[in-house]
Amino acid sequence: MSSVNRVFLIGNLGKDPEYKTTQQGTSVCSFSVATSTKGQGGQEETSWHNVTTWEKTADNCHKFLRKGSKVCVEGRLKYSMYEKDGAKIYRTDIVGERVTFLSAVAKEDGDSSQAPKSFDDKYKISKTSFDGDIPF
C-alpha cells in the first residue's frame, strides 16, 4: 500500500520571506502562511504554517512575495525535533514544492507585476459559484 504526504494551503504571508543560500550555494526561502477557518460557534480561527522552499521556487518567492501576499502552497509535511535549554522542541514544517502567487505581487524595483489580482481572476471562477469555499 502506498502512502501520501501532500499539503495544499491557501493563505497570506505573515511577514516578508527570509532568504539565504546554503554553503553549497542552494537557495532557500522561508515564510509563514496564515490560514483561517470557522471554528466552534462560528468564530474565525487562524492557524500559522511554516513553509520552506528551495532552489528556483525559493528565488521566485524571495523576489515576488511580501508580507500580506496571498499564496497557494503545495508541498509535503516535514517533522523535526531539536533540544533547546534541555527541552525537546517539536516542529512541523511544510516543504513548499509549488507556490502559486494569488495576489498582485511587487517586483524588487517596486513596479507591479502582471500577476493576476486574485485567485478568481486567474482561474476565471465566478464568486457566485465559488463562495470562497474550496469545491472539493
Q: What is the pLDDT of residues 48-67, one digit of tens each?
A: 999 999 999 999 999 999 99
Average pLDDT, stretch 93-112? 76
Q: Given CATH 2.40.50.140, say whether it is the number of domain 7-103.
A: yes
| Structural domain boundaries in the chain | 7-103
Q: How far apart are CA 66 and CA 126, in angstroms?
A: 27
Average pLDDT, stretch 83-96? 95
The pLDDT assigned to 1 comes to 74
What does the DSSP assignment read for the chain?
Answer: ------EEEEEEESSPPEEEE-TTS-EEEEEEEEEEEE-GGG-EEEEEEEEEEEHHHHHHHHHH--TT-EEEEEEEEEEEEEEETTEEEEEEEEEEEEEEE-S--B-TTS-B-S--SSHHHHHT--HHHHTTS---
> Whole-prediction pTM value?
0.73
